[in-house]
């Protein structure tokens, strides 16, 4: 859904426009007092929390194999039929899952799917008249925009913290060592138990899932972008897992020589040098060789391994793609059909 620019003003525009402009130093620009600005900020936060709160849950985890060892975290309902998004590390290894709403109602939950690569998981409950949160668009976020976190830190249910979007496009290492891309950095205070809870904008639209903090740093917290969560959740509901693709190569990032960049009219110098082509792999079948430099796939410029991995995380298993490589300084094109990564 398109993210409206007015959200970036913390909903102050209505207050500003509803007041008559008063001359100030010869200017007709409207002026709000500090108290009025604070009221507008507070109203924006209160509105978002009242709208989002009923769909946020606390998650209790039991692991019977470890003598009923428990854990807890947060999550939120994102569909009318009771699907819940949370973090993978919250529910990993769980034998029993219980979710509790703000009104005190508790329900047993089933694990629909789990993706440690992005630290995301989907649960499901069966509850009548289900309130759910709207997913926003993390690609439309702006640094400095209001961010509101709702969760259950240290068991203090439905705690609210606020801050701003501090940075965009971060990469964060998941528990299994893989990088999560397009992560949001915020200074909204997060603590253990916040994991899996929503990061929302001033209209209560989810923009991220609160995931990690850096200890002992203050004011540095991270959320998985909702666009990533939207894709992963769809895969988990459909397949029970995320079907990631592989081409069967090993490679490294390189800078293409400037002369070659100009010759082939590349927009930048980055590419992937193929250091090994696996036997019986899509790359082998396509005709790729050690020493080839991958610079594009199906019209998308490939400038690094990170860009390639993001493409392979999309739903492209079994699709026929065109791959552009530089071999001995010349452009060559091949067709390749990625397989599912095991």
Tell me the average pLDDT across 319-342: 94
Query: Of these residues, 115, 117, 119, 182, which one is catalytic?
Result: 119
pLDDT at 8 over 50: no
Supply the CATH number for residue 152's domain.
2.40.10.120
Q: What percentage of the chain reaches a pLDDT higher than 90?
A: 65
Report whether pLDDT(1) > 90: no
Single residue among 195, 219, 242 that ends a domain in this structure: 242
Residues 93 and 203 in one domain: yes
Mean pLDDT of 320-335: 95
Three-state DSSP string of the chain: CCCCHHHHHCCCHHHHHCCCCCCECCECCCCCCHHHHHHHHHHHHHHHHHHHHHHEEEEEEEEHHHCCEEEEEEEEECCCCCEEEECHHHHCCCCEEEEECCCCCEEECEEEEEECCCCEEEEECCCCCCCCCCECCHHHCCCCCEEEEEECHHHCCCEEEEEEEEEEEEEEECCCCCEEEEEEEECCCCCCCCCCCEEECCCCCEEEEEEEECCCCCCCEEEEEHHHHHHHHHHHHHHCCCCCEECCEEEEEEECCHHHHHHCCCCCCEEEEEEEECCCCHHHHHCCCCCCEEEEECCEECCCHHHHHHHHCCCCCCCCEEEEEEECCEEEEEEECCEECC
* pLDDT higher than threshold 60 for residue 29: no
Tens-place pLDDT, residues 84-106? 999 999 999 899 999 999 989 99
Clarify whether 195 is annotated catalytic.
yes
pLDDT band at 66, cuts 50/70/90?
low
Domain end residue (candidates: 201, 216, 242):
242
Catalytic residue among 195, 202, 223, 281: 195
Overall number of domains in the chain: 2
> Is residue 283 pLDDT above 90, yes or no?
yes
How much is the pLDDT for 12?
32
Which CATH number belongs to the domain containing residue 277 in this structure? 2.30.42.10
Q: Is the pLDDT of residue 224 over 80?
A: yes
Domain that holds residue 305: 245-340
315 counts as catalytic: no
Mean pLDDT of the chain: 87
Do 252 and 237 fall within a single domain? no
Q: What is the pLDDT of residue 326?
A: 96
Rounded to two decimals, what is the model's pTM?
Answer: 0.75
- Do both 212 and 328 map to the same domain? no
Mean pLDDT across the stretch 312-341? Answer: 92
CB 28 within 8 A of CB 21: yes
pLDDT digits (tens, 9 = 90+) for 148-191: 999 999 888 889 999 999 999 888 888 888 888 889 999 999 98
Query: Which residue in 72, 74, 89, 138 is the catalytic one?
Result: 89
């Amino acid at each position: 859904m398109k993210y409206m620019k007015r959200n970036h003003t913390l909903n102050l525009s209505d207050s500003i426009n509803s007041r008559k402009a008063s001359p100030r130093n010869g200017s007709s620009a409207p002026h709000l007092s500090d108290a009025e600005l604070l009221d507008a900020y507070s109203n924006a936060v209160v509105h978002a929390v009242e709208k989002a709160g009923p769909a946020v849950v606390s998650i209790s985890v039991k692991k019977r194999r470890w003598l009923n060892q428990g854990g807890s975290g947060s999550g939120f309902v994102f569909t009318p039929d009771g699907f819940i998004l949370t973090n993978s590390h919250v529910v990993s290894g769980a034998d029993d899952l219980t979710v509790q709403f703000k009104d005190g109602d508790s329900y047993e939950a089933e694990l629909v799917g789990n993706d440690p690569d992005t630290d995301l998981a989907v649960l499901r409950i069966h509850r009548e008249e289900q309130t759910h949160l709207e997913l926003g668009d993390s690609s439309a976020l702006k640094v400095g925009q209001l961010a509101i976190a709702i969760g259950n830190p240290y068991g203090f249910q439905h705690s609210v913290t606020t801050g701003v979007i501090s940075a965009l496009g971060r990469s964060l290492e998941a528990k299994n060592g893989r990088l999560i891309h397009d992560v949001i950095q915020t200074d909204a205070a997060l603590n253990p138990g916040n994991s899996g809870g929503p990061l929302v904008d001033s209209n209560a639209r989810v923009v991220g899932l609160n995931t990690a903090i850096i200890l002992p740093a203050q004011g540095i917290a991270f959320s998985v972008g909702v666009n990533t969560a939207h894709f992963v959740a769809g895969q988990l509901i459909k397949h029970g897992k995320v079907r990631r693709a592989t081409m069967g190569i090993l490679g490294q990032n390189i800078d293409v020589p400037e002369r070659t960049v100009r010759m082939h009219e590349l927009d930048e110098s980055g590419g992937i040098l193929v250091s090994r082509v696996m036997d019986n792999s899509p790359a082998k079948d396509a005709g790729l060789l050690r020493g080839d430099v991958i610079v594009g796939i199906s019209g998308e410029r490939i400038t690094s391994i990170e860009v390639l991995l993001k493409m392979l995380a999309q739903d492209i298993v079994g699709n026929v793609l065109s791959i552009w490589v530089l071999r001995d300084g010349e452009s060559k094109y091949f067709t390749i059909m990625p397989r599912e990564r095991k």
